[in-house]
A = this chain, B = another copy of it.
Amino acid sequence: MSAAETRQKLIETGAYLFHRQGYNNTGLSQILTESRIPKGSFYFHFANKKQFALATIDYFNQQFSQLVNETLNNKELTPQLRFTHFHQAVLLQYKKMNYQAGCPIGNLTQEMASLDPAFQDKVSSSFGKIEEHFADLIADIEQTHQLNHSTNNLQLAQFIVNSWEGAVLRMKAEQNSYPLQNWYQHIYNLLF
């Protein structure tokens, strides 16, 4: 395995475990055992567990960008379909995890944002990126009809992203898709 492959294997294993168990619940030893990578290789790539976790946030963002590019940003579709495909793609991901795993960025926010500024910066900028994609969608919708909101597009986009995070959180409490379906219905009504 090349150094790059080793790093990637560590990141994927860590992302999987942090997502399902949380940051504090996941020890470095479990990451090493499940990835079958020796401790020395870990420390060749990462100074410590925290630096490693920050790198998994980049990985989560990258994975999510791919989903967003195929759905929300797919300008070959109508805005309605871009929004609907985004919702359906997300739902499918969560279904695969029995609606138990939540949003990895949201999880890390709850667990770490107030305890460590490096996490806070990183999750804040992750949210900002998702917001821009929704602001783009809103701008495209407004080419055809006026939306009923008293704020600017970025503020509405933030409301949509935050309410989505809340729906994903509630999904974890209920362990079913209803909160996300309910979010979709209300936001669809607001946008179209």
Which of these binds chain B: A16-24, A31-39, A41-49, A135-143? Answer: A16-24
Task: Tell whether A90 is near chain B: CB-to-CB under 8 Å.
Answer: no
Q: What bracket does the count of chain A residues touching chain B fall in?
A: 35 or more
Chain multiplicity (copies) = 2
Enumerate chain A interface residues (CB-CB to B < 8 A): 20-22, 24-25, 100-102, 106-107, 109-111, 113-115, 120, 123-124, 127, 148-151, 155-156, 158-159, 161-170, 172-175, 179, 182-183, 185-186, 189-190
Task: List 23 interface pairs A-B (beta carbons < 8 Å), by A numbering.
Answer: A21-B115, A22-B111, A22-B115, A24-B24, A24-B25, A25-B115, A100-B114, A102-B110, A107-B110, A110-B169, A113-B175, A120-B173, A150-B185, A151-B182, A155-B182, A156-B186, A159-B183, A162-B163, A165-B166, A165-B169, A166-B168, A169-B169, A190-B190
